[in-house]
Amino acid sequence: MFWEKEFETLRRKDLEKLQVDRLKKTINQAMESPFYKELYAAKGITAERISDVKDIRELPFTTKQDLRNHFPYGFLTQPKKEIIRLHSSSGTTGNPTVIFHNRHDIASWANLMARSLFCAGIRDTDVFQNICGYGLFTGGLGFQYGIERLGCLSIPAGAGNSLRQIKLMRDYGTTAIHAIPSYLGRLYEVFQAEGLDPRKDTDLRIFVIGAEPHTEEQRRRIEEMFGVKAYNSFGLSEMNGPGVAFECTEQAGLHIWEDAYLIEILDPETLEPVPDGEFGELVMTTLDRQAMPLIRYRTRDLTRIIPEPCACGRTHARIDRIAGRSDDMFIIKGCNVFPMQVEGVLLRIPEVGSDYRITLEEINGADEMIVEVEVKKDWFNGDIARLEKLTRVITSQIRDEVLAKPIVRLVEPGAIPKGKGKAVRVIDKRKQIATQIQTT
C-alpha cells in the first residue's frame, strides 16, 4: 500500500525528468536570495544550464558554514511577511543554522512525513506518542504535522519524564511512538523498575527511531526489549527535519523521497561521485522548498545507495543507515575511528547495558581512548574476576574493530550522565587542552 502511489512508484526516467524540472525552478527560486544571487552571478550560473540530473555537478556546494556566515536572512528568497516558521540549531558555539518555511513548505513537509509514516506501516487507526522535544528542534513539530496529516490520534508528549511517558502509553493505548534510540534503553529500565513488561502491559507495536546515528545491533535490541518493530528514520534540519528518508516495512534501507530531494553520494576527500553501493558523503538539494532552498548541501553524513530494487515496490532510491559523520571521526594512536564502530561492538555483547561514553584524553604524554560501559543491572553479582573477564573481552573486541587498544571501564547502570536530547557519545578532552593552551 502507498500514500501517494503516483509519486512513490515513478519509473526512473520519469522521476529524473521531474527532478530536472524541479531543479530548474529551485535554481531560479534560490537566486532570489542574497547568497545564491551573488554566488551564481559571479560564476555565470543559470537554470538553463540544467538538462540532466548529472548537470548538478557543475554547481558549487553549500555548507553549514555558509549558513552561519549569512545568518540570519542571507538565504531567504521571499519577504518575511510570507514566512510562517523558522527552525534552528542551538547555536551555542556561534551563529545557529536557521531554516525558514512558508505555507507551501510546511504543507509539503507534513505530506512527506505522512508518506514516511505510512510506508513504515503506521495508519490512521494508530495512537501515536511523540517522545521528542518540541520547539526549535525539528523532531517535535515535524512529526506532529505528519501524524495529523496521516490522521492518527497524536499524543504530543515531548521528551523525558519516563514515568509520565509510561502512564500515557497505558492510559491511552499508545500503539506507535517516536523517540531517539539512546533514550529507549533508559525507558526500558524504568519499565523494569516499575515491575512492568512493555510486551504485556502496553499496546505498543511500532517504534520510529532516529535523530542520532545508531547501529543495527541497537535497533534489534530495542525490538527485543519492547516486542515491537523499530523503523529507522533520517532527516536533518537543513532539509526540513524528519521525513527526508524512511524505512518501509521491509526494513531494507531508507527510501529517500527523490521528488523532494536530489541526492549525491561523494567521496568526502575528492568530492567525486562514488559507485552505487559504496559509502560516501551524502550531498542533498531541495526540490520542493520555496522560502529557503538549498543546493548541493554537504550534510557530512556517511551512507551509501542500496542499488537493488525494494520488494515493497517503491522506486525511490534507498540509502543505508547513517554510518557516522565525516566530521565525527577522531584519530587515536594513528587509527581513524568512528563512534558507531565502538557501539557496534558493545551492543553485540550480551552483558553490556544501554549506554556508553568515549573520552579521549592525554595520559602520560600519550593519547588514550577511555570507553565507559554500563553493564546490565542483573548481571554483576560481586564477582571481581567476572568483571575483569568482561573488561578483557570488550577491550579485545574493540581493538580488533578499530585497531587501537582502548581503556575499558565498566560502570553500573545509570552511572553515565544522561541529557534530555541526543546522547553525547564522545568527549575529546585533548581539544579542550589544546584550546586552553592557545588562549593563554
pLDDT of 437 above 50: no
Return the H-helix or E-strand segment holding 427. Answer: strand 426-428
Average pLDDT over residues 260-267: 98
Number of neighbouring beta carbons within 10 Å of residue 440:
5
pLDDT of 438 above 50: no
pLDDT of residue 353: 87
pLDDT digits (tens, 9 = 90+) for 133-147: 898 889 999 999 999
CATH code (residue 417): 3.30.300.30
Instruction: Assign 357 a pLDDT band (cuts: 50, 70, 90).
Output: very high
SS3 355: strand
pLDDT of residue 210: 87
Do 347 and 321 lie in one domain? The reply is: no
Do 295 and 397 lie in one domain? The reply is: no
CATH code (residue 105): 3.40.50.12780
Average pLDDT over residues 379-396: 89
Do 302 and 370 lie in one domain? The reply is: no
The domain tally of the chain equals 2
The boundaries of the domain holding residue 123 are 1-327
Do 376 and 289 lie in one domain? The reply is: no
Do 241 and 337 lie in one domain? The reply is: no
Q: Which three cell numbers stand for residue 318?
A: 534507498
Where among 304, 327, 350 does a domain terminate? 327
Average pLDDT over residues 175-196: 93
Do 414 and 273 lie in one domain? The reply is: no
pLDDT of residue 340: 82
Do 266 and 343 lie in one domain? The reply is: no
Q: Which residues pair with 358 in a beta bridge?
A: 371, 426
Q: Which of 62, 59, 61, 91 is nearest to 74 (CA)?
A: 62
Do 259 and 407 lie in one domain? The reply is: no
In sequence order, which residues have a C-beta less than 8 Å from that of residue 23 and are 6 or more positions away? 47, 50, 53, 56, 262, 285, 287
DSSP state of 298: E
pLDDT of residue 94: 64
Do 311 and 163 lie in one domain? The reply is: yes
Do 300 and 389 lie in one domain? The reply is: no
Do 315 and 209 lie in one domain? The reply is: yes
pLDDT digits (tens, 9 = 90+) for 36-67: 999 999 999 999 999 999 999 999 999 999 99
Where among 277, 296, 327 does a domain terminate? 327
DSSP state of 62: B
Do 128 and 148 lie in one domain? The reply is: yes
Where among 301, 327, 353 does a domain terminate? 327
